[in-house]
Chain A
Amino acid sequence: MAMDVDTRRAGLRRWAGLALAAGTWLVLYRFNQPFWDWLIYDVLGLSPQSAEGSALHFFGYDVAKIGLLLVGIIFAVTVLRSFMSIERTRALLGGRREGVGNVMAAGLGVITPFCSCSAVPAFIGFVAAGVPIGVTMSFLIASPLVNEIAIGLLLGMFGVGPTLLYVAAGLTIAIVAGWILGRFHAERWVEPFVFETRLRGQVIDSTAGLTWDDRIAMGRDEVVTILRKIWPYLLVGIGVGAIIHGWVPTDFFATYASASNPLGVIVAVGLGVPLYSNAAGVMPLVQSLYGAGLPMGTLLAFMMSVVALSLPEMILLRRVLKPQLIAAFIAVVATGIIIVGYSFNLLLT
């Protein structure tokens, strides 16, 4: 009986703690704007019309806002994702035909917890379970391209419309690119040892037997890990925005990078490929540039190329994929992103 009371008390403490944290978050989020109005305009006495005033206000307000969004979203997403596992995803995809398989793989890529550092073991694990190469590629493309953290941030910063467009475009790229790579008979460009890898031992489900306390601890750990990794991107991205906000003439970008500039999207993708960050790291810069008047299609193309095509991941994948397949992968995905960028610029103007 004593045990029973103890577990109940622990449960109460856990949920009360979580509710308290959520309440604090909401209060901070709600009073972010008034706080910076008060600090910059009243205490420091800067005018909202002055370059320094508007730049400082932009910087403080946005760092706090995006920081809060990140904490909330990463925590919620990690806890929710702890109910899904890559082992379950593989079981769902095993023996699935191309076509339907590509669609499922792209969708599962969004919700399965996955880090690009596991791309190679996951690739081998999928292929060993009989998942076709093209379907596996759909999964590997969708996973970084459309992740829930990006979705949450887009919702918080740009609203429902751009978010839905982004998700639809990302899924389409993953499905079509994976399908095309499958048509190429990409098997011949996979290192032969992959097909010979025999799995020893029993596969264990990485999320089996987790308690609520485990899931909450995972969420907290993930918030710390990601924020520790991306805080310089956050400050630089918003810093750029603040400088643009205060000092760059508003028609500067409109003149050089408007939607009607035929090279805009291609330049954005070209700049994005060598840069590597996750969605959480690149979003602050995207928001800053959007505020400066850059078109949404160009920005989403930039963001997609940063998250989906990265040199470090290609080097990792080189372990299992021959250069031909890596080249085809980059070409197909980059083409998809460029098409998406131009169509968005057309649709949204």
Chain B
Amino acid sequence: MKIKILGPGCANCQRLEERTKEAVEALGLDVNLEKVTDAAEIASYGIMRTPGLVVDDTVVVAGQVPSTREISDLLKN
């Protein structure tokens, strides 16, 4: 599974990264986590409000930081 965190490094982006890591660990998934900080690349995902979470090239979260549990639910599907 490929996970990308989209965000230039603002507070919300860091929180999303932390929670995603927690969720990944709790689920015991084998993932390839990448941080995308380049604005042009972020925009190309159609995201206008950071942070964003991309799982296998699909945007699943944009502009908000879900709870760790919600992220786990997203990753399970």
Contacts and interface: CB of A to CB of B under 8 A. Distances in A.
Interface of A: 85-87, 90, 113-115, 117-118, 120-126, 128, 193-194, 197-204, 206-207, 210, 217-218, 221, 225, 229, 316, 319-320
B1 interface: no
Given A113-B49, A206-B63, A221-B65, A201 B57 contact: yes
Contacts of A210: 64
Main secondary structure of the interface of B (DSSP, over half): loop
A217 B8 CA distance: 23
Contacts of B44: 124, 197-200
A121 B58 contact: no
Given A207-B64, A225-B12, A121 B59 contact: no
Interface of B: 7-13, 15, 39-40, 42-50, 57-59, 62-65, 67
Contacts of A120: 8, 39-40, 42-43
B59 A197 contact: no
Contacts of A225: 11-12, 15
A163 B39 CA distance: 35
Given A201-B58, A206-B64, A316 B8 contact: yes
A193 B43 CA distance: 12
Which 4 A-B residue pairs are closest in the complex by CB-CB distance?
A206-B63, A120-B39, A124-B43, A117-B10
B7 A117 contact: yes
B57 to A, nearest CB: 7
Nearest to A205: B62
A229 B10 CA distance: 11
12 contacts: A113-B63, A118-B48, A120-B8, A121-B50, A125-B47, A126-B48, A197-B40, A200-B46, A202-B46, A204-B59, A225-B12, A225-B15
Contact of A200 (B45, B62, B65): B45
A202 B62 CA distance: 12
Given A204-B62, A206-B64, A225-B12, 12 more contacts: A86-B48, A117-B8, A117-B10, A117-B13, A121-B42, A122-B49, A124-B44, A126-B48, A193-B40, A201-B57, A210-B64, A221-B15
A128 B47 CA distance: 12
